[in-house]
Amino acid sequence: AGCSSSAFGPDFDTAMLVIEEIDQSEEADVEDAGCSPFEAWVASRLASATSAVEIVHLIGAQDYMGSNASEAEARKRLHAFARHPQFAASACEVIRMMCCKRKVMPPFPFATWLQEKRASGATTVQAKNCLGLPMSTSVEETVTVLEEFLSESKEQVTLARGLNGRVQRYDKEGDALIVFHGIAKPQWVFQRDFSKLRFVEVASRWEGLEKLATEERAWEILHSMVPAPTFVEQPPRSKILKMEGVEAVAKRIARSQRILVLAGAGISVACGLPTFRDDDLRPAIAKEFGLADADEVSHIETFRKDPRPWLRWIKDLVPSSERPRQPSLTHKFVRCLEHRGQLLRMYTQNIDTIEQMAGITNLMECHGSFATATCTKCGERVLDASGVNLAVSAGQVPYCAVPDCGGVMKPDVVMFGEPMPPAVMTGLDEDTDAADLLLVLGTSLNVAPCSLVPSIVGASGDAPRILINMEKVGKDTDFECFLPGACDDVVAELLQHLGWSKEAVPEVVD
């Protein structure tokens, strides 16, 4: 599920200090404790022969307890964490957030987490916000102030104990705008003060989440329900270092361990393929088929009406056995990074499948590829689209092989008017945070969201951003270094400075 900030509960590192700093002389027995959903879950795991040490590992706290902790010590530390006044009401949420950041599913059932949420006073809107799910536009919650505090509006107002109101809406951060009785203007209350309010809503609003909690694979279902992230350009980052020339970039590559690669058509030029805007035949094709403009040739609505314009355009681009292509030196360089364990992931905007030919597996094809194809009528999908590609390269319309279907087979390429695969958006959201170096290779950076990657990496940390391209693209603040030239030429220089020869990695670099 999503990693939205929680309305209740501290961060994982703060909570785990309890496990790290507990007085080892303290006596406790977690098995006898059943006061909270987390404690009940721990007790059930212990009863099913799971050791306390294993449970500590399951919740991701092993680094805070030490590698030589005994079973008795593990039980004491679990008990201290579960009973600590600051964390008792949010133990499951703290662990869920940790699991989200580490990209693993929580160890306890969704029902346990949901029970904790309800017990802590959260509403359905707040629970869904924690999970990153779309929040309902219908907010039916009343509130009562339990402890006096100041609102967070521009003109702060004292919210006295016993004051009643209703929630008007939540913003995207999960903070609440509340209309209080006797106060003229609605007041903002931030999540950190939600514990000072009692939220009340009708019980029926929990029915959907409670039904989901009965599913054995509830966490996996939730993960699939979280909308793909959206990207916006970030404020420019001041350049973090002075980096000039191929040698300096080679030194940075040599010591980087999580290299994010974003590639465009420029890396395939040496393979005999034109870039997207070179020798664009679409205007002539649009005129031939009576289309309003060139972009209509590659629009999904045009394809559904008549696939011939698009198939004519990609006829010479589609891979086929009659036009075999070999990976460029740049493709092999990226494969070399993967071979050495330095490639975080490669995002390619190309659809030519040459990355797959090069053996790159840690790959995200942003615009799909010709490797597979799907029938536009019955949905039949072929995992080996070589037959479809052969028909397209011969100037024919490929048809579905399912009896009595007759639908057109469309290569699984993202056309104008089609969404980018959700996995691409999710992957970019995670990888732009994790990267310690960004290499942008052979792209015009004209198409979002890939065009936003340099600014997002810049806002996410201090990873240097390197552009290798025939011409400078993007904004002046998007890169710490620009290496001009054809990708293969620049890569050849990089390999020389890196000392990565054919002898060092014979199956990768020629």
Q: Would you please indicate which residues are annotated as catalytic (active-site) residues?
A: 367
Phi, psi of 98 (to 5 degrees): -60, -45
What are the structure tokens assigned to 177, written together?
């705008």
How far apart, in whole angstroms, are the C-alpha atoms of residue 222 and residue 131? Answer: 8
Nearest CA to 59 out of 31, 94, 17, 95 is that of 95
CA angle 419, 423, 425 (to 5 degrees): 65
At 14, which helix (H) or strand (E)?
helix 12-21
Nearest CA to 509 out of 342, 352, 338 is that of 338
How far apart, in whole angstroms, are the C-alpha atoms of residue 357 and residue 388? Answer: 18
How far apart, in whole angstroms, are the C-alpha atoms of residue 58 and residue 62? Answer: 8
Place of tokens 């679990």: 78
**HEC letters along 58-114:** HCCCHHHHCCCCCHHHHHHHHHHHHHCCCCCCCHHHHHHHHHHHCCCCCCCCHHHHH
**Torsion from C-alpha of 277, 280, 286, 289, nearest 10 degrees:** -140
How far apart, in whole angstroms, are the C-alpha atoms of residue 362 and residue 346? Answer: 6
**What spatial distance separates the first Cα and last Cα of the chain, rounded to whole Å?**
43
252 three-state secondary structure = helix
At 427, which helix (H) or strand (E)?
helix 422-434
How far apart, in whole angstroms, are the C-alpha atoms of residue 460 and residue 410? Answer: 37
Say if CB 477 and CB 497 are below 8 A apart: no
Q: CA torsion sign, 487 to 488 to 490 to 495?
A: positive
For strands 437-441 and 465-469, give the pairing.
parallel
At 47, which helix (H) or strand (E)?
helix 37-47
